[in-house]
Amino acid sequence: MSEWTIYHNPRCSKSRLALEHLRNHDIEPTVVKYLEEPLGAVTLDSLCRAMAIEPLAMMRTKEPLFKELGLSAKDERPRAEWLKIMADNPKLIERPIVVRDGQVVIGRPPERVLELL
């Protein structure tokens, strides 16, 4: 039996749709509301590494908070600093993120979660 986890924001339509896709396939994942249960830098790093992406690729760079914090996608920051920024500001984390047995995808578009079936 597979273990599924979705890092979910219930206020996000894409996140809700991704969860619906999973449930339509009789998958009831562990739901982590990451705005209420923030992810640490270690967890974020492990998710990035599982997807073979840099932390910036998992950030919502168009989120107003990104600009309010004085950030730019062109910033050259150490990996650990980007991870800390996301850990401290979970609103900047792209959503949803779905994990199945160590495989990870960002559900943008939501149908991407079906790649893990």
For the annotated catalytic residues, the residue numbers are 12
Annotate 24-39 with b (16+ C-beta within 10 A) or e (fewer): eeebebebbebbeebb
Q: Which residues contact 63 (CB under 8 A, 6 or more apart)?
A: 91, 92
CB-based contacts of 79: which residues, under 8 Å, 6+ apart? 45, 54, 55
Cis amide leading into 109 (omega within 30): yes
Rg from Cα positions in the chain = 14
